[in-house]
Amino acid sequence: MLKGNHKKAKQKNYQGHVADILCVAASQDGKFVVTGGADKRLIVYDAKSLKPLRVFMHHRDAVTGLAFRRGTNQLYSASKDRTVKVWSLDELAYIETLFGHQDHVVDIDALAQERCVSVGARDRTARLWKVVEETQLVFRGGSIDKKQTQHVDPRSLAYEGSMDRVAMIDDELFVTGSDNGSIALWSIQKKKPLYILPQAHGLEEPLLPTEASAEEAPTPKVVPPPQPRWITALRTLPYSDLILSGSWDGHVRVWRLSEDKRKIEPAGILGHPSSSLDLVPNGRDADDSGDEGTVNGVNGTKASPWLVKGIVNDIALFERGDRGKDGLCVVVGVGKDHRLGSWKKIKGGKNGAFVFEVPRTKKSLENGTGDEDEE
């Protein structure tokens, strides 16, 4: 384990972080681990020994996201300085800078092609960067799918203020998560989202009248409508139909693409014993209504092994065995507050990680002689 030292911020030769670490990534071949921090540093380590190999200071503000191009040691970094930078770790060299975002670039993702997708927070855009062609495609958010929001209280229907998370599904599709609690499905062939899933992690608990007003005997009318929980983490299993999302409702929720790849459907909750669960408007599970206790401030939710205490700040997953033969491993990073600021604090939350093992089960074929594996 390596520890940084904020007291060495003025030492240019110090090969460690001097402020919060905001993102981490590991190369697919197991050679490199890279971290980015609020100190504007991007540090490359040898994965086996965790020895610092190079400290890059090219970014002018905090490094908020990292993504490796699959099968290579080409790295993309996102920063609050509104840029995306491209690196080659085989040569431990900086390659180029991509300009275009009008606000902090807070997340980035990439697959096998030489391109990446980033989101720009309050500029409410996702941008697909074609590195070789030196071009970019701009996808503008802020829209609401009225067909999907008929059952939602209009007072709780928040507009998208910040596009915070992004994850690529394949070379044609990607998803974004926003501060209004919605998950949007995008195609690189269209400028508008194919589908918007509103309030994916439900609504906050409504305030008591005494909490919303300083009057001695306030009326319920002073209570503002409950607001959606932000999408604070988003991850996909590349080239599949699986999507995972996180917030602070105590659950890592699992979604899947519809067969026509035009909708996002609920698949259940990670670690929950039941195979699939219907989501109810307030973000609780239908079978939790009779439980007691609180988790992350959600009353009526009993503490169970699959409940995540804290804000889900990131999700990482990888397949075990050859092509996922031995299942999936999902690592969920949680904290007492949001990774980029103290806008929300969770009582009883802990800084740490939850690890979920998703085994691969065997399903017998009805018209065959063998077994078929499925997750």
Q: For residue range 71-108, what is the model confidence (pLDDT) as tens digits?
A: 999 999 999 999 999 999 999 999 999 999 999 999 99
Point out the residues of the chain with pLDDT beneath 70.
145-153, 155, 274-306, 362-375
Assess contact for 176 and 140: CB atoms under 8 A.
Answer: no
Long-range CB contacts for residues 269-273, cutoff 8 Å, separation at least 24 = 269/306, 270/244, 270/306, 270/330, 270/332, 270/356, 270/358, 271/305, 271/306, 271/356, 272/306, 273/306
Q: What pLDDT does 152 receive?
A: 64
Query: Within its chain, how far is the Cα of 119 from the centroid?
Result: 11
Interatomic CA distance for residues 359 and 15, integer angstroms: 40
Q: What pLDDT sits at residue 13? A: 87
- Residue matched to tokens 């602070």: 248
- How far apart CA 110 and CA 66 sit, in angstroms, is 9
pLDDT of residue 226: 87
- pLDDT the model gives residue 133: 95
**9-63 pLDDT, tens digit each:** 888 889 999 999 999 999 999 999 999 999 999 999 999 999 999 999 999 999 9
Question: What's the rounded Cα separation, in Å, for the pair 78 and 82?
Answer: 8
**Placement of tokens 């003025």 in the chain:** 10
pLDDT for 280 equals: 33
Q: What is the pLDDT of residue 201?
A: 94
- Please state whether 307 falls in left (phi above 0), alpha (psi between -120 and 50) or beta: beta
pTM of the entire structure?
0.86
Cα–Cα distance for residue pair 54/41, rounded to 1 Å? 10
